[in-house]
């Protein structure tokens, strides 16, 4: 099978960084057409810088990097520097990237790539707010049937929320964008907090990256050490949830995951539950099923995959 063509849409973020590294480490499986930055964990100037920092850590200056939307479709931007640090990618001082940012707007890149490929051959992998993807759909609805699948990190059902009691960060930042994507009719696979809160960065798992004794291994350890402190303090857990790499892991080894094909809708009105992913897990409505909503993951299998692949970089 030829490698699956993907576009990563992201707001790095230390966990986004590991997702990008996992994709870069898997060229036999994944053909990374480009990486598009979106505002989310940090502002766009930071996230577009960070995607290039990450590519340079992996010595992949050839990857096409784009800047997309700098704010949600119809709300002010909310960022998460309290989790990810002032740069969005705190943990270690790295040189300013010198590889180019592509001149094309990231949303135009997504539209052009989908139009220039055969239908059903490009998968979108959003790891941040869904602003770029929804903007592309709104501006060029003809691309919607061309998308092979969207595999996204966002939402929660059993875990409910992390940025508010009812909402997960990526969906909460741009609920109108999420609503467009969840109503689009595109094949959707959702990796919610219910999965990502099961893949904790325990000491043993971080030590496996330390054992690489490479620059990349040391950078990964520094990012994870910084990233986990927030959730360890918040949840009293053994490590932080490594959200975004689960999206890439699903593409590589879907047998590690389980879930249900259900109806999922986005709350866009209520001030109390804004951004909630209302997931009909128990099938109590007759609403149309629109998403494969994952719930469980084989955590050790996930870390074995991540460690093995990153050791190849």
Chosen from ligand BDR, Ca ion, none, partner binding at 169 (C-beta under 5 to 8 Å by type): ligand BDR
Q: Which residues contact 84 (CB under 8 A, 6 or more apart)?
A: 13, 14, 41, 42, 90, 227
Peptide bond into 13 cis (omega under 30): yes
Stretch near ligand BDR under the rule CB under 6 A, chosen from 68-76, 165-173, 208-216, 228-236: 165-173
Looking at the Cβ atoms of 228 and 244, the one nearer to ligand BDR is 244
Residue 73 in the binding site for ligand BDR (CB under 6 A): no
Pick one of 6, 7, 9, 15: the residue that binds ligand BDR (CB under 6 A). Answer: 15
Quote the Cα angle for 247-250-253, to 5°: 145
Looking at the Cβ atoms of 146 and 172, the one nearer to Ca ion is 172
Residues 108-147 that bind ligand BDR (CB under 6 A): 127-128
Pick one of 47, 162, 184, 189: the residue that binds ligand BDR (CB under 6 A). Answer: 162
Token pair listed for 14: 């230390």
- 243 is annotated as an active-site residue: yes
CB 222 within 8 A of CB 209: no
Residue 128 in the binding site for Ca ion (CB under 5 A): yes
Residue 277 in the binding site for ligand BDR (CB under 6 A): no
Among residues 117, 243, 255, 298, the one annotated as catalytic is 243
CB 193 within 8 A of CB 157: no
Looking at the Cβ atoms of 173 and 292, the one nearer to ligand BDR is 173
Residue 243 in the binding site for ligand BDR (CB under 6 A): yes
Q: Which residue has tokens 């993907």? A: 6
Cα separation of 173 and 167, whole Å? 9
Looking at the Cβ atoms of 14 and 26, the one nearer to Ca ion is 14
Pick one of 7, 8, 13, 18: the residue that binds Ca ion (CB under 5 A). Answer: 13
- Report DSSP letters for 152-170, one per residue: EE---SSS--SSSSS--HH
Residue 153 in the binding site for ligand BDR (CB under 6 A): yes
- The helix-helix angle for 299-310 and 14-24 (nearest 10°) equals 70
Q: How many residues bind ligand BDR (CB under 6 A)?
A: 15
Pairing assessment for the beta strands 188-191 and 65-67 based on DSSP bridges: unpaired
Residue 170 in the binding site for ligand BDR (CB under 6 A): yes
Token pair listed for 116: 């220039």
Task: Cite the active site residues.
Answer: 243
Which spans of this chain sit near ligand BDR (rule: CB under 6 A)? 13, 15-16, 41, 80, 83, 127-128, 153, 162, 168-170, 243-244
């Amino acid at each position: 099978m030829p490698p699956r063509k993907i576009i990563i849409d992201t707001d790095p973020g230390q966990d986004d960084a590991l997702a990008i590294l996992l994709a870069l480490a898997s060229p036999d499986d994944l053909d990374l057409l480009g990486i598009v930055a979106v505002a989310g964990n940090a502002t766009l100037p930071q996230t577009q810088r960070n995607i290039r920092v990450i590519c340079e850590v992996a010595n992949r200056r050839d990857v096409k990097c784009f800047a997309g939307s700098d704010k949600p479709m119809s709300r002010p931007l909310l960022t998460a520097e309290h989790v990810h640090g002032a740069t969005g990618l705190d943990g270690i001082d790295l040189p300013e990237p010198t590889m180019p940012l592509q001149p094309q707007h990231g949303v135009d890149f997504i539209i052009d790539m989908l139009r220039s490929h055969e239908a059903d051959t490009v998968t979108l992998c959003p790891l941040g707010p869904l602003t770029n993807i929804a903007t592309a759909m709104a501006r060029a609805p003809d691309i919607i049937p061309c998308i092979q699948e969207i595999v996204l990190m966002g939402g929660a059902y059993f875990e409910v929320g992390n940025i508010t009691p009812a909402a997960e960060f990526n969906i909460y930042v741009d609920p109108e964008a999420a609503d467009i994507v969840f109503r689009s009719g595109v094949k959707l696979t959702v990796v919610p907090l219910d999965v990502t809160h099961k893949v904790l960065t325990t000491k043993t798992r971080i030590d496996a990256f330390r054992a690489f004794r490479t620059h990349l291994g040391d950078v990964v350890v520094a990012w994870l050490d910084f990233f986990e402190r927030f959730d360890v303090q918040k949840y009293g857990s053994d490590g932080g949830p490594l959200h975004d790499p689960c999206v890439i892991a699903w593409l590589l080894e879907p047998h590690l995951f389980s879930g249900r094909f259900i109806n999922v809708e986005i709350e866009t009105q209520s001030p109390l539950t804004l951004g909630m992913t209302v997931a009909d897990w128990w099938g109590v409505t007759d609403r149309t099923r629109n998403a494969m909503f994952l719930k469980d993951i084989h955590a050790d299998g996930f870390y074995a995959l991540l460690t093995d692949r990153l050791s190849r970089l």
